[in-house]
Chain A
Amino acid sequence: MAMDAEAIRTRILAGLPDAEVLMIDLAGDGDHWAARVTSSAFAGKSRIQQHKLVYEAIGSAMGAELHALALQTFTPET
C-alpha cells in the first residue's frame, strides 16, 4: 500500500498547520517520496526533533504504508 502526495501533505498540515510542504516523487512510482517541510514550529529545535514533529504528524503510517520518505526540514526566513 502506497500513500499519495496529497495524503501525506494533508497529514503533515494537520500536525503543522503553518507548514509549507513540497512533495517530490523520487522514483516516479508514487511510492518513494521526498518532502521539504518549512514550519515555524521547527525554530530552536534540533534536526532530530524537527523530523520527529513531521513523523508524529504523519502518524502510524510512517514506516508502514509510507515506507520511504526523504525529509528535509526548514524554518521560515524571517
Chain B
Amino acid sequence: MATSDRIRKLITDNEIVVFMKGIPAAPKCGFSTGVVKVLDAIGRPYLGVDVLDDPFLREGIKEFSDWPTLPQVYIKGEFVGGSDIVREMYANGELQALFAGA
C-alpha cells in the first residue's frame, strides 16, 4: 500500500491519531510528550503512531499534511495541527468541543 493510502486508512479508522516520535508511553521528543499529555487529559482512546519506526511514514506524513514538523494530530480524519496548536486548543476548550455530544 502506498504511504499516503496507509495514512488515509489510519486517520479514517481511528477517531484520534497522533503521528509522533516514540510511543505514547515513552515519547522521544518534548513536543510529542506535550501532545500525549493533552490527549491523555481528553480521556478518549487514541492511536499513537511512532514515525521513528518507519522512515516512509516519517517523511510521508509531512508531505500528506503539508506540515514540516512532528508531532501531528488528526481528529475525525482532519489535520488539527502540531503540538502548539493542540495545546492552545486544549487550553481554550476548542479541542474538548470537538467531542461535545459524542
Binding site for B on A (CB under 8 A): 32, 47-48, 51-52, 55, 62-63, 68-72
Contact = CB atoms under 8 A, between A and B. Distances in A.
Given A62-B69, A68-B30, A48 B84 contact: no
Nearest to B87: A70
A47 B68 contact: no
B58 to A, nearest CB: 10
Secondary structure type dominating chain B contacts: mixed
A47 B88 contact: yes
19 contacts: A32-B30, A47-B88, A48-B67, A48-B80, A51-B81, A51-B82, A51-B85, A52-B66, A52-B67, A55-B67, A55-B69, A62-B69, A63-B68, A63-B70, A68-B30, A68-B31, A69-B69, A70-B31, A72-B84
Interface residues of B, number: 16
A71 B82 CA distance: 10
Interface string B63-95: 000111110000000011111110010000000
